[in-house]
Amino acid sequence: MSDVPDPMDGVDVPGRIAVLGAGSWGTTFAKVLADAGREVVLWARRESVAASIRSEHRNPDYLTTAALPENLDATSDFDAALAGAQAVVLGVPSQSLRENLQVFRDAVPAGVPVVSLAKGVEIGTGLRMSEVISSVGRIAPRRVVVLTGPNLAPEIAAGQPTAAVLACSDHDTAVRMQLASATPYFRPYTITDVVGAEIAGTGKNVIALACGMAEGLGLGLNTAASLITRGLNELTRLGEKLGALPATLAGLAGLGDLVATCSSPLSRNRTLGSRLAQGSGLEAALEANGGQVAEGVVSCRSMRDLAHRHGVDMPITDGVYRVCYQHETPASMIGVLMNRPYSPE
């Protein structure tokens, strides 16, 4: 017998988990949970998608080359998906989360952890996704877990090693989901700084748009590194103003996610930014994204509003907003950033 303690001893690890939303990230995390040995039911809005996942073990709309585990079931009936669930994962886009919660909330089993995959701040209210889940879903904050980090869905679906962060104000709840989702290729860490995790996860999409614009203009790594670093600086300022820990922004949730999203051609936001710089209008660039959501287009607006509300200067976020909504060119945005008054770092 080994004298090494089993980390699962005494921890109530969810066995049956419902994942609501069969987009790229929802499908990928459902695969992670299934590979971790959980009994997973993935809810898809369309029965044709659910049927394909059940019969062919593939999602016909997203990650079409990824083989899904046989212990991953799928349904278009959210009541059936949620029946007996010991944890619930919300994989719907940030700006439709409120609407979906109004439908789902009465069927969510009482007391179970609820994991948020959405990265965003709600337009109008300025609420982070965990706050929307708590207020609209009537779910206690200690049950809400935020998953974030350098998590490009196609790489994870292919089994490439990555680390992630599970943030929850209740450490034990975060640990339950950590043990439920850990696999040889997916290594989750836990933190209690939900604010920092969500500000980082939202803001990185905006900075990725800026990096994509720089790439589309033919600019090199110096420009990208400058945008990433100064982007991290402005996200940290906003996070600290809202009560986040600087260490969160310097870790996987902040710097880690920024590097991945701002550097990879798999990043929808970086790709969209590049198309904008190459002359595509916003509508055409969004259409060329194949129907997949580029959260940064919405997040630059909600993050800018949040920054103004709290008196935080966020020049890159403001510049991306001007490109997306005020018809400024990406080249002009870079020029404005470079001509700002000089200051200490």
Catalytic (active-site) positions: 204
Residue 125 burial (CB count, 10 A): 13
CA triple 56-58-61, angle to 5 deg: 125
Type and span of the H or E element at 75: strand 72-75
CA 25/CA 45 separation, integer angstroms: 15
Q: Rounded to 5 degrees, what angle do the CA atoms 293, 296, 300 make?
A: 140
Q: Give the Å distances, CA to CA, from 221 to 211, 226, 263, 274.
A: 10, 8, 10, 14
d(CA 197, CA 88): 19
Give CA separation, 45 vs 51, 85, 116, 303, in Å: 11, 18, 18, 29
281 CB-contact burial (10 Å; exposed 0-12 / middle 13-18 / buried 19+): exposed
* Distance separating the N- and C-terminal Cα atoms of the chain: 56
Burial class (CB in 10 A: 0-12, 13-18, 19+), 337: middle
Residues written for the chain: 345
CB hemisphere CA count around 253 (13 angstroms): 33
CA 62 from chain center: how many Å? 16
